[in-house]
């Protein structure tokens, strides 16, 4: 894991804007009706939660996969390529 990075002023502004938009999307959830095909999809905030959790699973899955398939950069270099 990398250390906590220094966040630039531009980065802080980006994060502030993102938080604002996300808050707006949460509010919109209770104003706009989402047409749902599946029962689970109709759960309030389904897509917001799914997006956040899925992203974390993708990254977490990658970290686990690294243990299985990561090798040195020159792993194949000694092979006689036929």
Partner 1 sequence: MLDAIFAIPGMMLILGALVVPLLPPFVRNYYMLALIAFSGWTVWQIAPGLHMTANLAGIDLILVRAEAITKPFALVFHIAAALNVIYAMHEDVKITATAGLAYAGAAIAALFAGDFLTLFIYWELTAFTSVFLVLAGNTARSMGAAMRYLLMQVASGVILLAGAVLLWRDGAGFAITALDATTPAGFCVLLAFGIKAAFPFLNGWLQDAYPEASVTGTVVLSAFTTKLSIYMLALCFAGLTPLIWVGAVMTLFPVFFAVIENDLRRVLAFSLNNQLGFMVVGIGVGTELALNGTVAHAFAHIIYKSLLFMSMGAVLFRTGTAKASELGGLWKQMPLTAIFCIIGAVSISSFPLFSGFVTKSLTIGATAKEGYFLVWMALIFASAGVLEHSGIKIPYFAFFGHDRKFKVKEAPLNMLIAMGIAAALCVIIGIFPQPLYALLPYEVKYDVWETGHVLGELQLLLFAVLAFVFLIVRGLYPPEIDSTVLNTDWLLRRALPRVVKGLAMPVLALWFGAVAWAQKTILTIFRISEETSRQSGLVSGIASTGAAAGIFLAVFALMLLARLFM
DSSP string, 41-56: HHSTTHHHHHHHHHHH
Is the CB of residue 5 less than 8 Å from the CB of residue 24? no
Q: State which of positions 32-71 bind partner 1 (CB under 8 A).
A: 32-35, 37-38, 40-41, 45-59, 61-63, 65-66, 68-71
CB of residue 9 to partner 1, shortest distance in Å: 14
Closest CA to 63 of 17, 1, 7, 19: 1
Q: Which residues bind to partner 1, rule: CB under 8 A?
A: 1-5, 7, 15, 18-19, 21-22, 25, 28-29, 32-35, 37-38, 40-41, 45-59, 61-63, 65-66, 68-77, 79-82
């Amino acid at each position: 894991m990398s250390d906590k990075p220094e966040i630039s002023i531009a980065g802080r502004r980006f994060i502030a804007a993102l938080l604002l938009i996300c808050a707006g999307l949460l509010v919109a959830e209770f104003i706009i009706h989402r047409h749902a095909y599946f029962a689970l999809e109709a759960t309030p905030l389904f897509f917001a939660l799914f997006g956040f959790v899925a992203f974390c699973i993708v990254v977490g899955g990658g970290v686990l996969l690294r243990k299985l398939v990561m090798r040195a950069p020159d792993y194949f270099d000694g092979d006689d390529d036929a």
